[in-house]
Amino acid sequence: LKLYIDYGGTNFRYVLKESREVIENGRVDSLNIDLIEFLERKLKSKDISFIGISFAGQVRDGTILSSPNINISQRDIKKYIESRYRTKLVVENDLKCASLAEFSVTDAKDIVVVYIGTGFGSSYISNSELIRGVDNLAGEMGHIVFKEAPFSCGCGKKNCLELFCSGVALQKWVDYYKLDCKPTLIGLKNHKSEESKEILENFYNGLSTAISNIVTVLNPSLLVLGGGVIDSNLDLIDFIKEEVVKNSISSSNLKIKHSTLKNGAILGCELLEKID
């Protein structure tokens, strides 16, 4: 059996497969799960030969380095599990899994993947290779410097893009200004106050700046956009297209598309087994 887990900032989803057949799957609120406890429960009751985990946080060599939106009790997951059970475990950053999945369904060799959901995630494939950097931290656009915020990012800093341009950012700002509206782009547009205008301006400004800069720096042929905030605001894709053409010098051969993968993270987990 093989177990694939998509551990996001909001949802924890898993699929248990026997060859290609799904024999069990489920979804839990991320706040209500302890990863190690979950894995040990599954490993004690089933014969699982491979575990692939897509994790919404920074990961290096099977260890969770940080997880801005998730509480984790045991960081050294790979070592912990593999030393106790006869299984192989690979854990990888969620956007790196997503870019492997997006890469597997396109002919493009230079891809930028940006998912905006709870956080702002991004990852790159250049000349068919996943860009990792020395600590597997390359590509974390959510944590580039943007502006000073009155509260901290999950990574500990106070000026990250993710504090202005993500689902969690909208929630933080609505709470900060005590606005009586839903923490969504539509909720803020309908609110029509000085504060909601400022939150929206920062969101769009951050989005435009970040994506235009990634395109200029990496010169990709394909930019894939996904994640909950994109999925529920598809007009953002047209906005990004316009901004990139306006701001980036390397957009002439660039295609921009909405992610068509229904379950990119889980597909990415399956691909982890092949590259590890």
> Closest distance between Zn ion and the C-beta of residue 134, in Å?
19
Q: Which of 5, 39, 97, 153 binds Zn ion (CB under 5 A)?
A: 153
> Closest distance between Zn ion and the C-beta of residue 152, in Å?
8
Residues 117 to 146: which contact Zn ion by CB under 5 A? 143
> Closest distance between Zn ion and the C-beta of residue 215, in Å?
21
> Closest distance between Zn ion and the C-beta of residue 197, in Å?
24
* Closest CB to Zn ion among residues 42, 143: 143
Q: Which of 100, 108, 155, 210 binds Zn ion (CB under 5 A)?
A: 155
Query: Quick one: three-class SS letters along the chain?
Result: CEEEEEECCCEEEEEEEECCEEEEEEEEEHHHCCHHHHHHHHHHHCCCCEEEEEECCEEECCEEEECCCCCCCCCCHHHHHHHHCCCEEEEEEHHHHHHHHHHHCCCCCCEEEEEECCCEEEEEEECCEECCCCCCCCCCHHHCECCCCCCCCCCCCCCEHHHCCCHHHHHHHHHHCCCCCCCCHHHHHHHCCHHHHHHHHHHHHHHHHHHHHHHHHHCCCEEEEECHHHHCCCHHHHHHHHHHHHHCCCCCCCEEEECCCCCHHHHHHHHHHHHC
Q: Among the candidate windows 92-100, 149-157, 175-183, 241-249, which touches Zn ion by CB under 5 A?
A: 149-157
* Closest CB to Zn ion among residues 140, 270: 140
* Closest CB to Zn ion among residues 153, 211: 153
* Closest CB to Zn ion among residues 13, 143: 143
> Closest distance between Zn ion and the C-beta of residue 147, in Å?
12
> With binding defined as CB under 5 A, does residue 169 bind Zn ion?
no
* Closest CB to Zn ion among residues 155, 229: 155
Interatomic CA distance for residues 158 and 221, integer angstroms? 33
Q: Which of 81, 97, 130, 160 binds Zn ion (CB under 5 A)?
A: 160
* Closest CB to Zn ion among residues 153, 269: 153
> Closest distance between Zn ion and the C-beta of residue 187, in Å?
24
Residues 86 to 105: which contact Zn ion by CB under 5 A? none
Residues engaged in binding Zn ion (CB under 5 A): 143, 153, 155, 157, 160
